[in-house]
Structure 1
Amino acid sequence: MAKQTGEHIIAVNKEAKAEFDIIETYEAGIVLEGSEVKALRNKQTVSFKDSFVRIEGGEAWLYNLYIAPYKHATIKPPDPTRKRKLLLHKREIMRLYGKVQEKGYTIIPLKLYFKNGKVKVEIALARGKKLHDRRQELRERDMMREIQRQIKSGKIKL
């Protein structure tokens, strides 16, 4: 079997950009069992709902990432939402740990993808948006959409 090259996106956390301000992103490897990798290659369901990263004992752990069990697994499949270890450099872990100690910061997964045949997770240091920030963002997006509509219809000339 030929080795895969390039990136192939498995799943994207769409809610992350709506609910959080992304400050920094990191690429991390993830420790998975064989049946989990087969499930991902087989395009099984992946859900980021309520998933987050916590740093414990100098190691990064991903919690609540749901990977649907592989239906053809011969052994008992692992818990779909078990905590999974993330593979990061020590200096990245320490930097993230220092930032998370500050008020309002958290680490969330943004996307899961294959890169050169290995499963990777893009994680982000993020700060939660307030409700009024989200409303303001929606208002601005609606205004821009309306302006684009008027330009396209010829009501506004540039």
Structure 2
Amino acid sequence: MAKANNKVIPIADNREARAKYEILEKYEAGLVLEGPEVKSLRNKGNVSFKDSFVRIDDGEAWLYNLYIAPYRFATIKPPDPLRKRKLLLHKREIMKLMGKSQEKGYTIIPLRLYWKNGKVKVEIALARGKKLHDRRQELKERAMKRELEREFKGKIRM
């Protein structure tokens, strides 16, 4: 009996989302891709999360504006790099996300793309946008923490 390989191999990470949004809940979803897109990801093709988001239409979750670089050696016409892609989620997860995302200030964003058991998965999150003063406060706290760590390291070495 072969043991299942649950190794997670990262493809891309959306760092900007963690800075701009407060993450409330995370979900793992499958991603419907075409052959050349999968080959592009296997060959470390360029992926960009810029302006990407998730929208729920007619009870189905769709990922918009995720850029996957076209595969150079595709023999057929490669798909549009920014096309909308279907997300594979359970119906109850879709209904929960739909209810929450319709509230004011909430959105669904992709956080990262990765391989799991030979399949491409995307981690999506229900998020609320941070205000400018929230981000400034976070930067101040991070700078103060860094300063304290520097002072603490300096005292230990003396």
TM range (shorter): over 0.9
- Matched letter for residue 35 of structure 1: P
TM-score for both structures, normalised by structure 2? 0.95
Question: How much does 1:147 deviate?
Answer: 0.2
Question: How much does 1:4 deviate?
Answer: 6.6
- Contact 1:5–1:117 (8 Å) recurs in 2: no
- Please state if 1:138 is matched with 2:151: no
State the aligned residue count. 154
C-alpha distance in 1 between matches for 2:6 and 2:107? 32
Instruction: Give the corresponding residue for 2:72.
Output: 71
Instruction: Give the corresponding residue for 1:113.
Output: 114
Question: How much does 1:6 deviate?
Answer: 1.1
- Matched letter for residue 61 of structure 1: W
User: Which SS does the other structure have where 2:124 is aligned?
Assistant: strand
How much identity, in percent, do the aligned residues show? 74
C-alpha distance in 1 between matches for 2:125 and 2:40? 24
Instruction: Give the corresponding residue for 1:90.
Output: 91
Residues 114-143 of structure 1, C-alpha deviation per residue, up to 9 Å, x if partnerless? 000000000000000000000000000000
- Matched letter for residue 64 of structure 1: N
C-alpha distance in 2 between matches for 1:77 and 1:111? 23
C-alpha distance in 1 between matches for 2:61 and 2:6? 26
- Contact 1:4–1:117 (8 Å) recurs in 2: no
Question: Which segment drifts farther, 88-97 or 4-13?
Answer: 4-13
The 4+ residue runs of structure 1 with deviation greater than 2 A are none
